[in-house]
Structure 1
Amino acid sequence: MSYCPFFQTLHDETRPVGNFGKGTHYSVLRAPIWHDELMVRLERCAFLDFAIIWDEDHDDRVVDAIMVLYISGLLAPVRYIGERKGTLSVLLAPDAIRSWPQETLAQYCSEVSDIGQCLEDPWATKVDSVEGIEHSIIHSSAENVATYLRNIDMLWELGVKPKSRP
């Protein structure tokens, strides 16, 4: 399925797989980007592979939020994004969370929050690290969620490709 003309769908689960969470399943999309995961401008276009984590209702309005993040230049650090119980969870590359000054992270969170509020049906937002435990992207224990997300990353090697050279 094509969710957006700007993104290529690499993998698409359209309904729940297994018994994890409350109907959890995922899709992996690829987008051309011009910033690395730290939001540093790239000399050449690169590609970002990221995952949408769906819950049982497969609410594709999350793609609207992704589109706004994309056209706002905010998608590059995103590794996972999903909506559950009216909250848009945006999980970032660990390097972005570790490397950004606190003010940069606060500004990014504020911009993502503004996007969540400008949608047709406004959503609260939660920005966290992939390694974080404060998000609620999946209804399960933090340990099980971390394992699930690591497995997706292991299969798809999410992130910016090719990796920028120092």
Structure 2
Amino acid sequence: MNKYLEFFKTLHDEVAPTGYLGRGSHYSVLRSVVWHDNLQHPLTKPVYHDLAIIWDEDHDIRVIEVVKLLYFAGLITPAIIVGERKGSFTLLVSEQTVEEAGKKWLSRYQQAIEEITQSLDDPWSAEVASINSRDHGIINDNYEKVSQYLQTINMLWQLGIKPVQ
């Protein structure tokens, strides 16, 4: 199992395409310790944050640099799934986060993510969306298949914030 970042534990790691969704989609799940909730409010105790990375066929590890920058900027906790496809970074948040935060917060968060992806040596565009959105481009395939895949990963790993036990 790969250790992608020194302050994240790899819980699950698919290193090559699995099946026929998209063009070789596969995923990894990383865990970090954070001090903020899904809306970036400070907490009195640390919590775990589990994040899935959706890889396409080329397993472009440059996405790890973005995850690292998001972590250091305090922007990682709303994210439950991230991925890169064709030079575009996608960050998905839970439907609960969208409902609790509202469109104004989501717009500001999108802008902060874009600032990070544009600061890369090879800048990427960025999008932030709900895991339930029909409009994100994290995997290029039929919406129903992509939705089921993402929801299954989320269900299996209960992505996002969870108490330290």
TM-score (norm 1): 0.95
SS of residue paired to 1:101: helix
Q: In the TM superposition, what are the counterparts of 1:77-156 in structure 2 within 5 Å?
A: 77-156=78-157
**Quick one: distance in 2 between partners of 1:22 and 1:101?**
33
SS of residue paired to 2:153: helix
Deviations 1:29-79 (A, max 9, x none): 001111111222111110101100000000000000000100000100101
Assess if the C-alpha contact under 8 Å between 1:50 and 1:80 holds in 2: yes
Matching residue of 1:69: 70
**Which structure 1 residue ranges, 4+ long, deviate > 2 Å from structure 2?**
none
**Quick one: distance in 2 between partners of 1:130 and 1:87?**
16
**Quick one: distance in 2 between partners of 1:124 and 1:142?**
21
SS of residue paired to 2:105: helix
Assess if the C-alpha contact under 8 Å between 2:21 and 2:146 holds in 1: no
What amino acid does structure 1 have at the position aligned with 2:132? E
Bigger shift: 99-108 or 32-41?
99-108
Matching residue of 2:49: 48
Assess if the C-alpha contact under 8 Å between 1:53 and 1:80 holds in 2: yes
**Quick one: distance in 2 between partners of 1:93 and 1:48?**
13
What amino acid does structure 1 have at the position aligned with 2:15? T
User: Unaligned 5+ residue runs, structure 1?
Assistant: none
User: Unaligned 5+ residue runs, structure 2?
Assistant: none
SS of residue paired to 1:139: coil
Deviations 1:126-151 (A, max 9, x none): 10011111111011111111100111
Over the residues paired in the alignment, what is the CA RMSD in angstroms? 1.1
